[in-house]
Amino acid sequence: MCLAVPMQVKKISGNSALVEYEGTRRDVRLDLVDPKPVVGDYVIIHSGFVLHRIDEEEAQESLKTWKEILADAHETSK
C-alpha cells in the first residue's frame, strides 16, 4: 500500500522537478503526468514519478490530516 504525501513543486528543469514537503526535497520525474505541473503546484509522487497534480485546497487538507496522524502517533508512543 502506498501512502502519498502531497509535495509542492519548487523547480522544473526539462522533464524533472524538485519537490518539497516540510524541508524534505526530492528530485522526481514528470514522464507520467499530463498536463505537466508548474512551479507552486502540489503533486502526488510514487517511486520517483509524479502521478498527478492536486489542487491546493485538497493538498492542504491532506497535509493537515497527516500532521494530525503524526501528532497522535507521537502522543501514543510516549
Average pLDDT over residues 19-40: 94
Q: What CATH number should be reported for the domain holding residue 16?
A: 2.30.30.140
pTM check: above 0.75: yes
11 domain residue, yes or no? yes
**CA-to-CA distance for 52 and 30, rounded, in angstroms?**
9
Q: Which domain holds residue 21?
A: 7-76
Mean pLDDT of 1-10: 81
1 pLDDT higher than 60: no
Q: Which residue reads 524534505 in cell numbers?
A: 24
pLDDT tens for each residue of 31-63: 999 999 999 999 999 889 999 999 999 999 988
Q: What angle do CA 28, 69, 20 make, to 5 degrees?
A: 20
Instruction: Say if 1 falls within a structural domain.
Output: no
**Residue 2 maps to a domain:** no
The percent of residues in the chain predicted with pLDDT above 90, rounded, is: 67
Whole-number pLDDT of residue 77: 78
Which cell numbers in the block locate residue 76?
Answer: 501514543
Closest residue by Cα to residue 29 from 20, 12, 17: 17
